[in-house]
Amino acid sequence: EESSLPYGNLVVSNHLLSFREWERLIKSTGEEFKFYFPYPDLDFTNTIYTNDPKLGQIQSVETLFKDYRLMMFNDVQALNEINKSGYFKDFSNCFLIEIGSPSNVEMIKFSLERKPEFQMMTSILKNGTERSVEKKCICNAGIKHLDKIEEYYHRFNKYNQNLNIAYCPLKRKSQDTLEFKYITGENLEEKIELAVMKRDRSKIESYLKIIDELASVGERSPFKPNQRFYDVFGKRNYSLLENQECYDIANIDLIFGNVICNNKYYAIDYEWVFDCTIPKSYILFRTLLHSYALSKLEPSDLEALYELCGINEQLKDIFMEMEYSFQDYVSHLKISDIQKEYHLLKLFPYDLEQRIRKIELIQGEDKHTYYFDNGPSFNETFDIVPGIDVKLLIHGKSILGIHQLTVDGKAVSFTTNADLIDGNNYYFLNDPEICICAPAGNQLDIDGYFYLFNDGNIDRIVELMNLIGELAGQNHALQKHLDSLLSHRIVRLLDRKKK
């Protein structure tokens, strides 16, 4: 944050200590201490770890970064591999240190991206040698959601006859909090990871069978969508699902990371169970879709698993549309919306200079910064305050065609710092400035085209254009001189004839 450069903090400061350096320093004092690791970053925290995450918990790394962000590698894959190697804490980009008597918190996960009625704070707490998991609704509107979770837990136990599977036991701690038993053991995602590394197809299929068993509890029923189904998964043509296998209790979040292997297989997170018929194949689709370990398989091997679950390409298309609708049902707030609101871009390093355009709109003391990445076209709208001079400052020398500039739909005059103007085309050797004097309106629209942007050839082009202009001027002067000489000779010849 102290520098606009990538990794700028490391350049401008020599007072930053790593996790290991802090750890050694505090140990030398003899004090008790505890580290907390906000993830994915300090500004947009959705999980706080104290220990390395389990495999499958790192599924997204979207952050509320301040400016453009360079895409140098696959962040999710990199962090999962770092985590497996035991270096998660070393590579965390921020941490909180508690010195003294540490709290009993081992992990907290916030679901703030959801609608208020689904927002939860899930905590893993340790008291002595005992651990527990608490799920607390953040808003009062979430109490009904907790009621549903508790209801479905009892319904599952009522119907389940399979001694090999179970839902993680819970009890109501208070109106706004459920307490779950902490189940020790490996999650299925970790087991799947090992099977993928060994290319053990039979093991992968056996773990899929566990998911199948957990999804096959209750009374089997035909697929018959009701209004509840349409509310969650959208209204579309579902005729292809008419012969799909469905059960009374449809927990759609049976991903591998939510199943712990102990003396039996426990589903530890069952928030998303609905009062409608949902095809078991959709549940299995989500299991395959959201597995980090399975994403490493060859496409043909992964496709074979979809086929094993009876999911063809047509069903995939329907299930993906259902998934989009489900995500919309849970949350109105998308990471992409946040990025758009803050004008944030993710760019590959080689794209940075040529694609990103940083534009500042300045009115008096107010300055707003925008980032655009939409090709050479420059068709943008800006909100402005009437009666105050406007300056648009574009970062990056350019050759810019300004076809039209209007305020509230009416063309306005403007000035620039262009080094060369050729009709509607403006050649800038410095950051372009477009100035409008006290516009009488609220909306500024500019329609233009970047012929070149941040291109090292612009200086040479302007030099050549100026040279062409000079040559044209010299040519015109020469032609004028020749015309003058010619006229003079003609006059002399005519005079001779007269004599």
Note the pLDDT tens digit of each residue in 374-398: 667 888 899 999 999 999 999 888 8
Long-range CB contact pairs, 195-203, < 8 A, 24+ = 195/293, 196/293, 196/294, 196/296, 196/297, 201/301
β-strand pairing of 377-383 with 443-453: antiparallel
Give me the half-sphere count of Cα atoms (radius 13 Å) on the Cβ side of residue 34: 14
| DSSP 8-state code for residue 344 | -
User: Average pLDDT, stretch 445-462?
Assistant: 81
Give me the half-sphere count of Cα atoms (radius 13 Å) on the Cβ side of residue 66: 10
Q: Tell me the domain boundaries of the chain.
A: 17-151+176-181, 186-330, 354-456, 459-499
CB of 159 within 8 A of CB of 217?
yes
Percent residues over pLDDT 90 in the chain: 55
User: Average pLDDT, stretch 213-225?
Assistant: 91
By mean pLDDT, which of 53-62, 419-428, 457-466 is the weakest? 53-62
What is the rounded CA–CA span in Å between residue 208 and residue 212? 6
pLDDT digits (tens, 9 = 90+) for 80-114: 888 888 898 998 878 999 999 889 999 999 988 88
Which residue blocks in 309-406 are alpha helix, DSSP H?
313-330, 335-341, 352-355
Query: What local confidence, expressed as pLDDT, does residue 343 receive?
Result: 46
Q: What is the largest CA-CA distance in the chain?
A: 132
The closest of 220, 219, 215, 213 to 162, measured between CA atoms, is 213
CB of 214 within 8 A of CB of 267?
yes
Query: What local confidence, expressed as pLDDT, does residue 499 receive?
Result: 59
Taking phi over 0 as left and psi of -120 to 50 as alpha, with beta for the rest, 380 belongs to beta
Query: What local confidence, expressed as pLDDT, does residue 75 receive?
Result: 76
